[in-house]
Structures are given as structure tokens and as C-alpha cells.
Amino acid sequence: MRPAPQLDLFCKPFDPSFKDRFDPGELESLTHACSTDPDTCRISSGDGIVYKTLGRLKRGEQGVSLEELLAEIGMQKSLKPMFRRGFRDHYTRMGLLGLA
């Protein structure tokens, strides 16, 4: 688990309710991903706030959907919309545009 000061520092540029919108594991994962080289760490989620945050931080390339991960290993599976690339793209764009 990341120390609270690192999580607080990560959340500082955002509005005060930002931290409360995350599952603790998502917030920790984002904090880690955004403190590493974008080419070496990606994050996958079924929660739009994760992709919005990456978009807002201009780190959208670090987001990856479960659909994309499965395709990388040659698997195709019927997935709920929240696990598809379109979902990731939509919320990343929202973050880039600064939309809530």
C-alpha cells in the first residue's frame, strides 16, 4: 500500500471530493502508474473515473481495457461494455476535455 502522503499528493490538483470517488485499490494503482514511465505501466479498470483521470493527466495511453488485454493474448470473449475499448476511449476523451 502506498503511504497516505503519496496518495494525498496525487489527489492535490483535483477537487476535494476526487479521492472519495475511487475504490482504494484504484487510487493506489493510479498513483503508482502516474509515478512511473508511461511505457512500463498500464492500468485496466471497469470504472470510468480511472480513465477520466488518465485523460485529464494526459496519460491516456496508460489505460487499457480488458478487451484489449485479452486481444493481446489472442482471446476473444463477450464482455460487458465497461470492459471494452469503447468505454475506455469515451472516458479518456472526457478527461482530456475536462468533463466531469
Q: Write down the pLDDT at residue 1.
A: 52
- pLDDT greater than 70 at residue 12: yes
28-63 confidence digits (pLDDT tens): 999 999 888 988 999 999 999 999 999 999 999 999
- pLDDT greater than 90 at residue 68: yes
Q: What share of the chain is helix, strand, coil (3-state, %, to 5)?
A: 55, 0, 40
d(CA 42, CA 59): 10
69-80 confidence digits (pLDDT tens): 999 999 999 999
d(CA 58, CA 93): 10
- What's the total number of domains in the chain? 1
Which amino acid is present at 19?
A: K
Q: What is the reported pTM?
A: 0.88
Is pLDDT larger for residue 47 or for residue 16?
47
- Enclosing domain of residue 31: 4-96
d(CA 97, CA 7): 24
